[in-house]
Each structure stands twice: as structure tokens, then as C-alpha cells.
Amino acid sequence: MNQVDEPSPKIRPEPALTSQQEAAIHTEGVSISLSAGAGCGKTFVLTRRFLKELEPGGRAGSLGRLVAITFTERAARELRDRIRSRCREMLATAAAADAEHWLDLLRSIDTARVGTIHSFCASILRDAAVESEIDPAFGLLEPQVEPAVRSRAVRSAVTRLLEEDDADLAELVFQYGFDKAVTILEEMLSADTKAASDPKVDEIDDPGEIVAAWTEQWAERSVPILTEDFLSRPKVLSAFDLLSIHDTSNAVMQQRRATILATLAELRAGGSVETALADLADAAVVKGGGGKGAWVSEEVYEEIKDGLSDLRDEIKKLKSGIEFELEQAVEGARLGLIAQRVLNEVRREFRATKRELGVLDFDDLLTMTRDVLKKNEAVRRRVAAGIDLLMVDEFQDTDPVQAEIVSLICGNDLTRGKLFVVGDFKQSIYRFRGADPTVFAKLRGSLDASGQLSLSRNFRSRDEILRFANTLFAAPIGSSYEPLIAGTDSPPLSEPPIELLLPRGSDPAESSDDKRKREADAIARRIKQLIDDQIPRIRDHDGLRPVRPGDICILFRVKSHFPIYEEALRRASLGYYLVGSKAFYAQQEVNDVAMLCRWLAEPEDVLSLAGVLRSPLFGLDDEMLLALRDAGSTIDSGLFGETLPELSEQQAEQVRFAAQTLEELRFQKDRLPIRELLELAIDRTCYDGSMLLEKFGPRKVANLRKLLSMAAAADRSGIVSLGDFAARIGDAILEQADEELAATEAEGGDVIRLMSIHQSKGLEFPVVVLADMDWQDSSRPTKATIHAELGPLVPTPSKESSSHLGVMIHKVAERRADRDETVRLLYVAATRAADHLILSAALPPDGRFQSPWLKLIADKYDLETGLPFDSDADAPTAKLFDAPPDVSFETTARRTDTVRLCDLRETLAATEPERQIALTVPTIVRSEWSVTALTKCLSAPSLRKPVGQSSDQTPSSDDSLSDEPRDFGSAVHHMIESADMNDTPERRAIRLQSIAREFDVSPARLERTLETFSESDVADSILSAEQVERELDFRLPMTFESGTAMSITVVGQIDCLIRTSDGKWKLIDFKVPAIDSNDAQWPAQRKVLLERYSIQLQLYALACREIFAQSKTKPDVTAELVILGRKCRTIAVDVGLTALAELRTSIKEKLVELRDEETDGRR
């Protein structure tokens, strides 16, 4: 660091900083591992620590040498915004000597290296493309398209291997059958991410060696877990408690009692399981132990007898659970190795497919970055030399590969101040994405003790909520749990802010769905009560205020049962917003469109045809379908035959309409893009209108619009056919793949929110309702996989056989990991609440429950009273509801989702999806945009309707006759572009008639429009131009920097480009509005047209300037819209340098937004 006479003073710690925050921000000389509890201000600390490194005279002083890695792009935006805001604060209070420093920093914030681990790795790979042997312009294969690419690679490899008579594939097919063998390979390839490159897996080729390793792991890891589970089972604990309390007078029974108590104690201490189980089984009987008289009472004897019987049952279960068949284990290992050898061929095919597409998947980004850093010292040194401080947020949600990348970059400086990681083991809830919660603990333990810092002072929640969390989670999370402490005092309340909403039912045989309906009703009643009673509960600047709908969030462990709770809120007339429900592929409208796509792609699929005909697309009933089948050999032959079956006049009309419409769609399927084909189907059948009139109508239409957006994405990809699109939708329906329902309510409104706990991570809400607490976990099916330590795992071929040893080990480990994560998931949910927390479940009449969550609460609270047990003196009291709150719902005469027919058009237009979700190659992958697509993407939704059109406007006969506006506009364009101004009237008339027939438009109207144009100044300018270029196709490359480089190509066609006599160039674009305007209407229409088409003309101008950039003179370009109607009107469009610069900025911001939305959606 350069020395100066009077160094600038450091930024002093703010008085508001806690001692924990101050240590995290100002500790130097060691790397930091910051364990940040929920609501403890970790983003605040990250911001301050980031800027501390950039203080005048500070350690680093260079923005480009700081790297901050966040979990999502949204978190990256938030961190960058906070850094920018803090820079402004520093600039406002800086000494004169430092003002320029903060001003320069503020101007450079957009270049800060703040982003996700994937964007960080992508930048490393692009820089080290030669060493990594990849194309530096690679795209990213998004999860939405990856299953289709992966499946294609598997089937391509399998086909090739079958042709080559591959022995391994033949054995797999023999053992499992063809379809199951393909499924196994797809499952293994899906799991084949980090583990596949682990030498411990790839180097094993002997089944005996694998089984020996399995046997060791079973004894050392799995059996202790099973034993611990056995000791914690209620029946075992009950037997232990009974024998501890009650003694017996019989000597034999005394010995048995002593044996049981001692053996259970030995098992807890890690004693031999096999011997212990034998001893327990022998001792857990009452026969020969003196009978009833040996106990204090007959009642006690019966309890002991039943308790020992239950204990014997549990002993049998454990004994059965720890036994395995050696031969079956060897066979499982053999088949796993065979599958792995076939998988090697599939891997090569998958890599070749990605290379052909020019993409990497997200796992490639991580593994290839790790590999190039590990294998190429020059690359590692280059990357490390460009980083002074590496900051990683949410480190508890990283995986071993990401942790290895961090370690490789830091190298010998891993503990010496080059690393600043923030995490919280208690909030690690992303195992399903590969996160390993032990990674954070291992790294933290490797750092110097002075760098192992914590944030435990919570600034989010009331003290009662924090004490409730501490009471519940300290024991199950264990010694790593750090109690949360309230950072501020809260005003006192008139009643507890923690509630147990546990209404009892009256039917012991009540189904799970009926229980949830009862619980949902109780939740709706309690919410309505909270809103209506106007009791101050929510902390505000002025003290406390009543609850508002927008304060409330209902959280769910899974999203499967959202509709039940939605219906209850609707009955209570409570507005709500559904955040990202993943039931999209379960919706009727998605199934209907999928069946239509399948039939259009495969007309012989009669079952799909029958589904289309029965759907609201055509509404044929079963009687009509049977009549069609009877009229021909199949439904399709009856539908498209020359004669119709005997039907009523109305039914016959329905059938004729269906046949004509489907014939039209079949004719157009190879001529139209997928989206336009589906739009045609919807338009012909008024399907969106029929959906709107059903229950949840607006959402159904929004889902339909979203499906069209997915079809448009498939069109843009250029590699997805209608058959591919139909297959992907069909697979997603069968798998119930994750995809969000389209939104129909503004997220920012004053409405109740419903979301999953995972979606709530990082958020907070004044009131949290945790619903469906008494859930019952269902066992997951066994899938083939690649495990880093166990190797390749495939299921046992025989359905009658149990799992082999390797699969058994994997299941035991997964169950334990799932159980631990379940506790952390509840912790995350409870700590989202700032002011009020409601825990809800519907219980049966006897109050019994089945979920581990309620067991956790029942260990600390009396579920009959809501009071904590005496041993937990610091636990706050909870308010108990054992019956639904007594609240009446006002009923209305009209259903809340009913739409008046006169409002149908406006409602349909308003139900656009919240955001467009790509099914195939998303925006971040796709590099090519049409001018139209990019213009629509940048334009406001309100400008996408036909100009001048509204719900109560219809064109007059003089204006549009019967022509489609799009067809007429195309005809006018074609006429002008092919026109020779020196043509004779006869030749012009012949060409006009030909074009009118080709586009099926009115010759009179076309002639009138052309006459208006030919008499205009625009026509004269074209006639007098020195050079005229028509229908110019162009490809405009554009590159933007935003953390990582983003490159797109804009493709389009310029209507007309002329060079005037003074050497200047003018862009001319012809438009034919759907509704012509008179002189009084023209100013308003001119404004709308200018807003709608300015972007398009500016993109054309950018393309022209790119072409002219090669010219020495670099001529100016102007642009005008030519509106062809009753009059030929012109509108000048600003294509100056300032306007074009603003356009580039808008495009960059939109691309960043789309990238961030898609990345967040993926997470």
C-alpha cells in the first residue's frame, strides 16, 4: 500500500453496531466463518464488510478484486443495491479528500463481481476455455430442457449399443426389461453429477470389493442409526419407563427387569446390537415370572404385559431390519457395475449432445471449474491472483464440489483472511438440490478460532417467538444450536403471540383430505378473526397496530394441498396470492392442450383424440363418441368419414364443427409455429372463454396463457418439434413435474400469501400460519443412482425380493438426513414470523398425532392446555384452540370467480401469466431474438393490443370490411414492396388482383390504400431516392456485461431503406392499423403507435449503424413510420445516439431480469 502524509481516516464503527456485528465487520488477519442466525442481519454485515475492504487506504482498494457469491440472482441484486445505497451514504458524509473515491466507487458498482456460484464458475470457464477444452461462447442448458436432452442421449446410446450387440446392455435388458433398463440409465444419468467424477466410484470394478465396503459401512454407520431409532420409538420408551417405575416381587421377573433396563442402557452406550437383541427378546416376557401377584396391582401387571409384548414386536422389527442376504448384495453390486459401464457410454453420448448444442449444464459449470482449478496450476494461480477477498453467502446450502472450488481458489490463504463465508447450519434445507449441511461445519472447524464468529441477536421477531424457537430446537439440533436473542424490546401484548390451532374432530375414521378441510376452515376463521377484531398486535413505528391481510403468510411443507386451503379462504371472502404453486401440470387445461398436441403429432393416437373431443375444446359426450365409433371402425374414422352417425341436429353440428376444426389444425400443424397453432385452436373453439366460466376460471386462463408462452419458447429454440413439445408436456404430467401455476393476483397487494417454506427462506412476515402440521411422510420409491461412497446403486430386479445391502445403506442414511432436515425446515418456518405465529393441525377425537413436528412441540408443550412443561421455565405460553374459532362467514349470492359475459374480453386479456416460463431452451440459453419478440419483451403489456381496439369498438364496414387486419397488412406490404412506380395502370391492376386473391382481402380496399400511398410525399421520396433497398434481412450481434457476459443476436427485416439526394439514409416502416382513425382521433392514435413501434425502428437503426460502422463517412440515419389508412400519415421516430443508448440499456436490464427470474425459478 502506498504511504501518504495524512492517510484518510477509516470508517468508524457505527454506534448501532452490536459487538457481534462489529467483530464480523472489522476482524482482520484471519478468514471468517460467520454463523448467522435467522433475522440477525447477515446482509447488513455482508454489505458493511464488502465496503470496508474498499475504504480509502483500505486493504484491497479495488472493486474488481472482491468477489461476493450469493445463493440466488435476487440475493445478488439485493446485495448490490445495498452496497450502492451505502456508497451514497458514505459519499454524503465523506471528507472532501475522500469524496472522489466514493463517487468513483458509486459509478462502478454495476461492475462489482456479485453473483451466484454458477455465474462465477461460468466466468472462470470462459476465461479458461482453452485449458478446459470448451467453446468460450457456450450457452447454459436449463433444467426445463435438460430432461429432454438427457432422455434423447440415453435412447441414442441404447440404440447404438443394441446395434453393436453390447453384452452389458443385453444383460440389463434381460434382468429388468427394456423400459425399466432405460429408466435406470436415465435415473443414474440424472444423479450422475459430482459422484461420477469421484475416483472412489469409477475405479471399483469388483463386486466382492464393493460388498466388503458395504458390509463395513453397514456395521459402522447404518446399524447404529437403526439402533438409535429403535431406542427412541414410543413403545420402547414406554416399556423402559414402566420397568423403571414398577418393581416386582418375583426373583425371575426381577432378573428379567434388570436385564432389560441394563441392556437398553448398554445399547444407548453403543453396545453390541446382536447380543443385546437376543438378551432383550429372552427377557421381555412375563410367562414364568410370577403372574399378576408379582406386581403391585393387576392393572400394573397388564400394563407390563402389554408393554413387553410391544417391546418384543419392536425387537423383531430391528432384528429383521439389520439382516441382509450376502448373495443378493453381490448380485446387486454386479448389476450396478454393469449399469455403470453402460452409463459410461450414455455419458459420452450426453456430453456429445451438449457439445453439439453448444451448452453446458449447471453441474458442468461446477465440476469443470473444479477440475480445471485442480489440474491446471496456471489457471488456479491466475484466478486466485485476481481475488483479494472471496465472500460466500448461504454457505450451509453449498455442496462438496462448491466447497472444493472455494478451497482451491484460496489455497494457502484459506485461513489467512482471503475468505469470508456466512451460513447457518440450522437453515440448511436444500438437500434435494445437493446441499450438504456438514460442509459449513467442516470449513468452520478448519479456520482459526478467532475467525469463528456468530450473529445471534435477532432484529426480526418478538422475544416470545425467539424463546419459543429456542425451547423447541435447542435439543434436537444439538450442541451447534446458538440461542436467538431479541435485538429490540417489543411493546407488551394482551394475549400470547404464539398459538396452537389444533381443532379436534368427531370422526375417528376421518380421511386425510377431510382433516385438512376442517383445518383449513379453522385457519380461515382464525385469520378473519385476527383481521376483524382490530386488536393491536403488529409492531409499527408508533407502537402496535391491528393485523392486515397483507401481514399474513400461510406456509406449507409441500404444495400438494393448496386448493383445499384456497377454497376455505374463498369461502371466508379473504383475498390471497398463491406464490409459485407447483401443480401446473395437474391442471385440466394443461391436460387438454397436451392431448391435442399428442393427437396432432400422432394422428393414430385415438385415445388422445377421444380426450380432445370430450374436453371443453369440443364438449362431445360419451354417447356421441360411441356413435362415432359405431359409424366407423374407430372414433377417428367415424369423425372424419363421409357420413355422420345418427345424431340430433345439435349433436351433428358439434361433430361437424369438431371435424372441420381438427382438419384445419392438422393441415396447419406443419405450417405454423407451435404457439400460433395452439392460438388457432383456442380461437376456433373459444376454449379460453369456457375455462374462464369454470371454478378458478381466471387462473385456468392464466395457465393457458402460460402454456402458450412455453410453446413460444419451444418455437424460439429451433430444435423442438410439436412431437417433442407434446412428449415433454406428457412426461411432465405423468411425473407431476415442478412448475408454478400462473398468478392471478398481484403479489404486492394487501392479500394473504400462500407459499412453501422453501420459498419463504430469507423473507419475514408479521403473521405466519404454519399449516398442515400433522403431515404423514410417505416413503419415496427407490431410484437408481450413483453414490460417491457406495458406488452405482440399482434396484433388485425381482419385485418379490427386498432391497440389497447397498440400497439398504443408502435408504438408512437418507431417512436420517431427511429427519434432521425436517427439524431445520420447521426452524426456518417458525423464524419467519415477526409478531405472531400460529401452528395449525386438525387432530382426531383422541388427540393423537403422527408428524415429527407435533412430537417436537409435544415434548415441550402440553397440547391439552398450550402451557409449557415445568422444566422449560423460559418457554413462553401458547394460546390453544382445540375447536374452530366461532366466526361466521358472510355469503354472497354470486360466486366470487364468476365473470359477467360483457366483461369476458377484458378478463381474458388481463389473465396473462406473471412471468413467462421457458419449457425448452430459456432466454438465458437462447442467443437469438427476432425483432418482434424483443420488442414485445421490452414493451408494456397494455401496448400489445391492436391499436385503437377496445371492448366496445368494432370497425365500420368502410374501415376493415371482412378482412383480417394481419392479412390485409401483409397484402399492403407485399404490394408496396413489389411495386414499380412506373408501372402502367393495367399492370398495376393485375398485380393488385393477384395479391388480393393470395391474401384473401378486399381488392377495393387494397386499391384504395395503394392510391392513398401513391399520392403521398412518402412515395415521392422513394421515387426520387438515389438508392432504395427493400426487405433487408439483418443479424445484429449485441453483447452486454452484467457480472458475466451476455450475448444475443437480433434478427429481422427492414421494410425499406432509402438514401436521399443529400446522402442521408432513412428507414421507412409501413404499418396498417386494425382500426383507422379520423383527424380527431389521430393525435391519440399517433401517440400509441409511436410508443408501440419506436423500439422496432430503433433496433433497425442499430442494425444500420452496425453496417455503416465499416464506412468511413458513417452517415446519419433517420426513421419514420408510414401509417396507411384513409390518409397516408408519417411519424418521425427518434433514432439518435441518446435514444439508441437508452435502448441498449433497456435491453440489458431486461436480459438481466429474465436471467435472474429463471435462475431464481430454478432455485
Binding residues: 36-43
Buried/exposed 97-112: b ≥16 CB within 10 Å, e otherwise: ebeebbeebbeebeeb
User: How far apart (Å, rounded) are the C-alpha atoms in residues 59 and 388?
Assistant: 9
Q: Is 573 helix (H, G, I), strand (E, B) or coil?
A: coil
1073 Cβ neighbours under 8 A, 6+ residues apart:
946, 947, 948, 965, 1085, 1089, 1123, 1125
Task: List alpha helices for 721-799, DSSP H.
Answer: 722-735, 757-760
User: How far apart (Å, rounded) are the C-alpha atoms in residues 824 and 856?
Assistant: 12
User: How far apart (Å, rounded) are the C-alpha atoms in residues 38 and 16?
Assistant: 19
Most distant pair of Cα atoms in the chain: their distance? 126
Q: Quick check: 45 and 53 in contact, CB under 8 A?
A: no
End-to-end CA, the chain? 41
Question: Phi/psi of residue 1050, each to 5°?
Answer: -100, 125
Question: Phi/psi of residue 208, each to 5°?
Answer: -65, -40
User: How far apart (Å, rounded) are the C-alpha atoms in residues 608 and 733?
Assistant: 14
CA dihedral 619, 625, 628, 632 (to 10 degrees): 140
Q: Quick check: 1115 and 1101 in contact, CB under 8 A?
A: no
Return binding residues for ATP: 36-43
Cα angle, residue 356 at apex, residues 351 and 361 outer, rounded to 5°: 50
Q: Quick check: 197 and 347 in contact, CB under 8 A?
A: no
User: How far apart (Å, rounded) are the C-alpha atoms in residues 1072 and 1085?
Assistant: 12
Quick one: which of 1056, 1057, 1059, 1144 has its CA closest to 1099? 1144
Q: Which residues pair with 187 in a beta bridge?
A: none
User: How far apart (Å, rounded) are the C-alpha atoms in residues 1113 and 456?
Assistant: 66
Q: Is 9 helix (H, G, I), strand (E, B) or coil?
A: coil
User: How far apart (Å, rounded) are the C-alpha atoms in residues 1097 and 1122?
Assistant: 12
CB-count exposure of residue 1130 (10 Å: 0-12, 13-18, 19+): middle
Q: Quick check: 767 and 838 in contact, CB under 8 A?
A: yes
The H or E element that residue 1016 is part of is none
Q: What 3 state SS string does 231-273 have?
A: HCCHHHHHHHHHHHHCCCCCHHHHHHHHHHHHHHHHHHCCCCH
Number of Cα atoms under 13 Å in the Cβ half of residue 104? 12
DSSP codes of every residue in 974-989: HHHHH--TT--HHHHH
CB atoms within 10 A of CB 1096: 22
User: How far apart (Å, rounded) are the C-alpha atoms in residues 99 and 89?
Assistant: 11
CA dihedral 38, 41, 43, 46 (to 10 degrees): -120
82 Cβ neighbours under 8 A, 6+ residues apart:
43, 44, 47
Strands annotated E in 742-896: 752-756, 765-770, 785-787, 791-793, 833-840, 879-881
In the block, residue with C-alpha cell 380432445: 612
